[in-house]
Amino acid sequence: MSKKTTIYDIAKALNITAATVSRALNDNPKISEDTKTLVLETAAKMNYKQNKLARALKSGKSYNVGVIVPRIDSNFFSSVIRGIEEELNQYGYHVIICQTHEDAGLQSENIETLLNAQVDGILVSTTSNSKKEDFQRVLKKNIPLIFFDRRKQMEGVSSVIIDDFDGAYKATKHLIDQGCTKIVHFAGDQSLEIFKERCRGYKQALTDSGLAVNEEYIIKTKSNLDEGITAARKLLKLSPLPDSIFSSSDFTALGAIKELRKHNIQIPKDFCVVGFSNEPFTKFMELPISSVDQSPVDMGKMAAKVFLEQTTSSTNIKMEKKVVLEPELIVRQSSLKTQPVTES
């Protein structure tokens, strides 16, 4: 087995002290940029591996960051995690991923586990029925806490979200511009701010266009295919029959399309559909589905940047930064009328 390279080997190769090498590797401000560059280049050539445990003990940091999501088998959350990792890895941090499966009790356990692991920060997308006490435990330990996508309104906690209201407004207004006047909304869990805001955006777009809000046209759903099928069956019983759907989820939109086609309803000629999240499958379908893009990788990167900003000094740990990203409506075939719209 080949001998591991040490800081003493690097010091000997450069004819400098081991203390200078150590300071350069730890980005000590007393060391010049030229020396730091020279040490880092030599360390890379000599295949030097820094002892992370020693580094952690010396700095008081674990260089681990906890990320809590409802589930990782979602393209949205896996993409957010990718963004977080891409931003943090370059600073030597590693990510510990936990899932809540939409269970507030499990979320509480995840927080306890991460605190026991002495993570340097926790980034979380909350589940419904989250308890503020769980997050206050993090703040009491003076550990940076950042919400992303789903958040709990708490003083002194930063968050990175998209403008769900604006995304829903754009989607609904697009359907109105296509000539749709009887638009059904598949509404998600209204205890979560993101779905509440999407429903609010839907209603506001109708009102601003002079259309009445029909509460019967708001169908509560969970974000999966089967719920979309069930919701489509409900809307087929409505009178007058709707002419379009704005869904708070791409999966429910897909389920609805499958069910509507069984009833020989032509999309988009007879019926328009827009989803939310811009899941990968939406553009690869035989009938590509219009959807609101949430820029999950950018959201992850921004959440990581907020964390890094909070760790630059002890005075920043309790800062409150609210970042709101702009959503983009991706228009595809499912919502574009194939024939000119005529007055009924």
52: in domain: no
Q: Tell me the average pLDDT across 100-106.
A: 93
Dist. CA 20–CA 111, nearest whole Å: 39
115: in domain: yes
The vertex-11 CA angle with 5 and 14, nearest 5°, equals: 115
Identify whether residues 223 and 290 lie together within a single domain: yes
Identify whether residues 278 and 132 lie together within a single domain: no
Identify whether residues 299 and 284 lie together within a single domain: no
- In this prediction, residue 113 carries a pLDDT of 94
Identify whether residues 302 and 158 lie together within a single domain: yes
Q: Kindly tell me the burial class for residue 303, based on how many C-beta atoms sit within 10 Å of its own C-beta (0-12, 13-18, 19 or more).
A: buried
List the alpha helices (DSSP H) in the chain: 7-14, 18-25, 33-45, 52-59, 75-89, 104-116, 132-140, 164-177, 193-208, 225-235, 250-262, 281-284, 296-310
Expressed as residue numbers, the domain containing 289 is 164-294+329-335
CATH assignment of the domain containing 259: 3.40.50.2300
Identify whether residues 189 and 235 lie together within a single domain: yes
Identify whether residues 287 and 304 lie together within a single domain: no
| pTM for this model (two decimals) | 0.80
Instruction: Give the count of domains, the chain.
Output: 3
Residue 61 clears pLDDT 60, i.e. is over it: yes
Identify whether residues 236 and 145 lie together within a single domain: no
Q: Kindly tell me the burial class for residue 115, based on how many C-beta atoms sit within 10 Å of its own C-beta (0-12, 13-18, 19 or more).
A: middle
Identify whether residues 187 and 279 lie together within a single domain: yes
57: in domain: no
Over residues 21-56, the pLDDT tens digits come to 888 887 777 889 889 889 888 988 888 876 655 565
Dist. CA 260–CA 271, nearest whole Å: 9
Dist. CA 219–CA 188, nearest whole Å: 9
Identify whether residues 283 and 251 lie together within a single domain: yes
DSSP label at residue 148: E
Cβ contacts of residue 182 below 8 Å, gap of 6+?
A: 214, 217, 240, 241, 242, 243, 244
CATH assignment of the domain containing 36: 1.10.260.40
Average pLDDT along the chain: 90
Identify whether residues 287 and 172 lie together within a single domain: yes
- In this prediction, residue 58 carries a pLDDT of 58
53: in domain: no
Q: How confident is the model at residue 316 (pLDDT cuts 50, 70, 90)?
A: low
241: in domain: yes
- In this prediction, residue 343 carries a pLDDT of 36
3: in domain: yes
Dist. CA 244–CA 83, nearest whole Å: 34
Confirm if 219 and 234 have CB atoms less than 8 A apart: yes
Dist. CA 293–CA 167, nearest whole Å: 8
Identify whether residues 112 and 254 lie together within a single domain: no
Whole-Å CA distances, 297 to 76, 246, 265, 328? 8, 24, 36, 14
Over residues 139-191, the pLDDT tens digits come to 999 899 999 999 988 888 999 999 999 999 999 999 999 999 999 999 999 98
Q: How confident is the model at residue 59 (pLDDT cuts 50, 70, 90)?
A: low
- In this prediction, residue 158 carries a pLDDT of 93
- In this prediction, residue 21 carries a pLDDT of 87
Confirm if 281 and 251 have CB atoms less than 8 A apart: no
Residue 278 clears pLDDT 70, i.e. is over it: yes
Residue 340 clears pLDDT 50, i.e. is over it: no
Over residues 65-95, the pLDDT tens digits come to 999 999 998 899 999 999 999 999 888 899 9
Of the candidates 113, 134, 106, 6, the one whose C-alpha atom is nearest the C-alpha of residue 64 is 113
179: in domain: yes
340: in domain: no
Identify whether residues 273 and 205 lie together within a single domain: yes
